[in-house]
Amino acid sequence: MNKLSSLTIKQIHQAYRDKLLTPTSFIDQCIEKTKQTKHLNAFVTVTEEIAENHGMESEKRLYKDKKMKALDGISVGVKDNFCTKDVPTTCGSNMLRGFRPTYDATVVARLRGAGACLLGKCNLDEFAMGSGTVDSIFGPTRNPWGYDEQDWRITGGSSGGSAAAVAAGAVTAALGSDTGGSTRNPAAYCGLVGLKPTYGLVSRYGLIPLVNSMDVPGILTRTVEDAAVVLNCIAGPDDLDSTTIKKEFKPVSIKEDFDLSNVRIGIPKEYYCEGMSEEVVDTWRKVADLLENEKAQVRSVSMPHTSISIAVYSILNQCEVASNMARYDGLQYGLRTDKDYSTEELYASSRSQGFNNVVRSRIFTGNYFLLARNYEKYFMKALKLRRLISDDFTKVFDIDTGVDILLTPTTLSEAPLYSEFCSLHNRDQCARQDYCTQAANLAGAPAVALPAALSRRRLPLSLQLTAPPLAEDLLLNVARKIERLVNFPTIDSVNNVISL
Ligand code: GLN
């Protein structure tokens, strides 16, 4: 039997059928793994009892009712910005400490509906604002790759807890959220597949908002096929989220003999930027060559507005943050500082004690951009530029003259050391880490990060594929092809990792 950290959904289900493993014994091993890897700080809440109950339900379905649902007996982690009924949901913030929602987010309900077993809630940057998982009231999450107690690497963020949990083998899949790269970025640093679906394909109901017009629930798994299985369980219209796409979702089907000869792959030259490591550029080139050898039509394309996407994203992000965070007033929502304050003082003290510096500074800046005298100059201008960025995608994916898919790096380098990363301001961390990921959120396009090579330090390097909206089937089939071609090693086979 493989180690927990390399089992796929298919292998686990086969082991259940062959009675080499049972859901309850597997879930017990996963719980044990959360304990052995506690130092990674992947989870903010481990839902041990819930997981055991879910495991028992799967076991009964399997051996008594002789039915197996798509995720029966599969351990999952959920980023702590998705509401989970009666389970603490904190967004990594003091503001929501002790908050226990009365309902499940749609994605959580759908995972459960498919038989998944909830192992716990995963760490994140406060309110998902970050790209390192270094800004949480629960402390930073550590990357299991190349782990060294003194000098460890970040997982990336903001869904770093979800990524660490999957990479270390505590869960088989996890949900992240992706507003500007928060699923793909930690997937890249932790050697995982990180899928950001088309905006509106997966319900945001119960996902605590960061930027409503860009937020998408994301999926972190160890293989492309697992990502497809999870997507098929959670995607599709939801009456509880009126921004979901109304069209019925056609499940993705991975074809092992997928033919690349009719696929046009674009290499957008503007994605090459200052600070991109040589190793990443090299990997990008090599994978493009591999695809060409498989008869794909690979060519250079231009997306002229790429370089402004960081600034545009940042302005729109802060404006929506300022608006979204207004609800945490200490009265209706969030932490209430309990002194005999006036109403205004109560707002001020609750908000200053509830939010960290990053959140407060985004609220300030957002409100500044939204002042009547600045509204046109910043907010409206950024919306117009967003349209141009989005038009770049429409043009590059033109059916007749364009390409079917884009191949770019995900991040500019391997996972940075915590000490290096924290010497930068949150704004600069994001500008650097999310350079290749944010534009897809501005355009609503689906994108997937996948591990492509090991760096000289034996850390994962990742590439990203981006497709036109609703082309998840093509996206994941091409990703699967690359996965086979690069044959990225499992974490256990690379010996510099935690003993699993
Ligand atoms: N790093 C980006 C930000 O902080 C993206 C975050 C995300 O995708 N949740 O805004």
353-366 pLDDT, tens digit per residue, is 999 999 999 999 99
Query: Out of 58, 158, 177, 455, which one is annotated catalytic?
Result: 158
Residue 293 confidence (pLDDT) above 50: yes
pLDDT at 495: 58
The DSSP call for residue 376 is: I
384 flagged as catalytic = no
182 flagged as catalytic = yes
The DSSP call for residue 208 is: P
Range 4-262+402-494: architecture per CATH: Alpha-Beta Complex (3.90)
Per-chain mean pLDDT for the chain: 95
> Which has more pLDDT, 151 or 35?
35
Q: Kindly state the average pLDDT of the residues 14-23.
A: 96
* Sign of the Cα pseudo-torsion (93, 96, 98, 101, in order): negative
Ligand 1 contact, 130 CB (< 6 A): yes
Ligand 1 contact, 429 CB (< 6 A): no
Q: For the CA atoms of 33, 38, 41, 47, what is the dihedral angle to 10 degrees?
A: 60
Q: Which of 268-282, 306-320, 332-346 has the lowest mean pLDDT?
A: 332-346
Phi, psi for 272 (deg, rounded to 5) = -75, 125
Ligand 1 contact, 214 CB (< 6 A): no
Q: What is the largest CA-CA distance in the chain?
A: 72
Q: Which two tokens stand for residue 198?
A: 């088309």
Angle between helices 381-396 and 309-324 (to 10 degrees): 130
Which of 93, 125, 129, 437 best tests ligand 1's pocket when mutated (most atoms within 8 Å of CB)? 129
Burial class (CB in 10 A: 0-12, 13-18, 19+), 251: middle
Q: Kindly state the average pLDDT of the residues 192-209.
A: 98
Which of 430, 432, 433, 435 best tests ligand 1's pocket when mutated (most atoms within 8 Å of CB)? 430
Residue 284 confidence (pLDDT) above 50: yes
Rounded (to 5) percent helix, strand, coil in the chain: 40, 15, 45
Query: Out of 75, 182, 455, 462, which one is annotated catalytic?
Result: 182
Domain residue spans in the chain? 4-262+402-494, 306-382
pLDDT at 499: 46
Burial class (CB in 10 A: 0-12, 13-18, 19+), 435: buried
